[in-house]
Amino acid sequence: MKFKEKYVIIVGQAENACPALAYNALQKGMKDMFFDKDIETMPRKELEKLQLEKLKKVAVYCYENVKLYKDKFDNAKFDPYKIKELSDINYMPFTTKADFRDNYPFNMFAVPMKKILRLHASSGTTGKPTVVGYTKNDLDMWSDCMARLVAAAGATEDDIVQICFGYGLFTGALGLHYGLEKLGATVIPSSSGNTEKQVMLMKDFGTTALVATPSYALRIGEVIEEMGIAPEDIKLRLGLFGSEGCTPEMRAQIESRLHLFATDNYGMSELIGPGVSGECTERCGMHFCEDHFLPEIINTANDTQCKEGESGELVITTLSKEALPVLRYRTHDITSITYEPCKCGRTSARMAKPTGRTDDMLKIRGVNIFPSQIESVIMAMPEIAPYYELVVGRTGTSDNLEVRVELADASLLDSYANLENLRGKINHNLKTILGIDTKVSLVEPKTIVRTAGKAKRIIDNRPKEAAVFSVEK
Ligand code: DLL
């Protein structure tokens, strides 16, 4: 095992609507430790020096080994041999999802197939998936990043971790799996679905940490309740969540149902999978594994870099990948970055929870709306269950939106007046946040579909050519 040092620190105020519960979860043995302290606490000047060296190498490596980059650089008259400082990245062309599509399946690989040990793929909404390949060194780097991030979130070698991401082409399960094994934790590769069995295993095996999408974590909480299992019979203390957005309100719901301390992980298949960034126990942003992933925030109006703290599109350059290096990848995720030192001692940049994607913004009667704004309202109302669907249509040039929410308690159905009061209250709360009226529909308890992976909350009824966002990505 590669622990360089172990640290036990008292965790400060976490971003959390349920501080008492989270604190109890921490008291159940959560420690904050470093997996690779030298790198994780490296002074920023040294880190930036390392990044510059790696940036120079990866730019030349891409130019010499991937036709796409040779063409892009030549067209943009960008000379990879002349990079002198990190800010020279501003002149480097971007890479997009379309580049992956155009080079399907393997044309963006920088090594011959015999060097590829693993393939993963992400499902797109239409057509072919995005394919990613890994060399042995890539797989080692990936599990190192994951081990760092789960250790930062409080996982230890004493944890019994149930991985409820779907195993298969999706990067989530195997990414967490190998990282947690590298840390020394006990892994239960239970995959997603068959939730009653998941709960049985959780109880019988004494699972202490759960890996899942936030929406599946909620579903697991619901089934624990349905099975009449007392929270004390489940030993969960830590949630390692990610792969989809989770508002603070939804996180609070998960924590109060599962009695654990929930942490967030960010990543995407094209870049590696999970392992790009993740929260430490301070929960004040997700730390990048910045020696491997160089982040920028781009103003989409003019494609220039934003200042620290400003919100824009996250763009990432992989600094160490061999099989599939990716330069200035446009993630479409909207977030901001801070370089402020974190109380945990890590020196890496941190990203805020993404507020949405540049391609999932809805324009309703001229007002820009992100689904996460709606989620924050719904999750904060006890009368409604934490499940919802957004049905988007189009009238003329504007989108219209129906918000379908599920009643928490069937007894509300007995009174029309109560239902109307509730609908009015939801409408009012949504209007306060969004600034416009929306159509709110109340549906019976347990009628909105539960998923074991990423929730599909948007039903897009707009004519095909008008749909400007994709739901899955
Ligand atoms: O979801 C990788 C992953 C697996 C990350 C497990 C974390 C944990 P993709 O399927 O390619 O990869 O989806 C990537 O999911 O661009 C975001 O829009 C979204 N996403 C991922 N993590 C988060 C997060 C994996 N923590 C896309 N918060 C990304 C919000 C997230 N959105």
The model's pLDDT over 232-262, given as tens digits with 9 standing for 90+, comes to: 899 999 999 999 999 999 999 999 999 999 9
The pLDDT of residue 125 is: 55
* Span 422-439, pLDDT tens digits: 999 999 999 999 998 899
The answer on pLDDT for 31 being more than 90 is no
Give dist(CA 354, CA 313) in Å, integer: 9
User: CA-CA distance, 235 to 300, in Å (whole number)?
Assistant: 45
- For the ranges 104-118, 314-328, 358-372, 413-427, the lowest mean pLDDT is seen at 358-372
- What local confidence, expressed as pLDDT, does residue 361 receive? 85
Q: Give, using CA atoms, the residue closest to atom 28 of ligand 1.
A: 245
Q: Determine the longest span between alpha carbons in the chain, in angstroms.
A: 73
* Centre of ligand 1 from the C-alpha of residue 97, in Å: 15
pLDDT digits over 198-243, tens only? 999 999 999 999 999 999 999 999 999 999 999 789 999 999 999 9
- Cβ contact 210:240 at 8 Å: yes
Chain position carrying tokens 């008492």:
20
Confidence of residue 126 (pLDDT cuts 50, 70, 90): low
Instruction: Determine the Cα–Cα distance for residues 241 and 243; give it in Å rounded to an integer.
Output: 7
Percent of the chain with pLDDT over 70: 90
Q: If you average pLDDT over every residue of the chain, what do you get? A: 90
Helix (H) and strand (E) counts in the chain: 12, 22
Instruction: Give the tokens for residue 248.
Output: 């603070």
Residue minimizing CA distance to atom 27 of ligand 1: 268
Residues with C-beta less than 6 Å from any ligand 1 atom: 122, 171-172, 242-245, 264-269, 273-274, 331, 333, 353-354, 357, 473
Average pLDDT over residues 11-30: 45
Q: pTM for the whole thing? A: 0.90
Top mutation candidate among 123, 264, 266, 375 for ligand 1, by most atoms within 8 Å of CB: 266
Q: Which residue's CA is minimally distant from atom 9 of ligand 1?
A: 268
d(CA 14, CA 60): 42
**What's the mean pLDDT in 323-333?**
98
| Amino acid code (one letter) for 80 | P
Cα(368)–Cα(207) distance, integer angstroms: 42
- Measured CA to CA in angstroms, residue 48 lies from 42, 116, 295, 398 at distances of 10, 30, 12, 45
| 380: DSSP letter | T
CA of 250 to the centre of ligand 1 (A): 16
Q: Does 137 have pLDDT greater than 80?
A: yes
| Cα-to-centroid distance, 68 and ligand 1 (Å) | 25
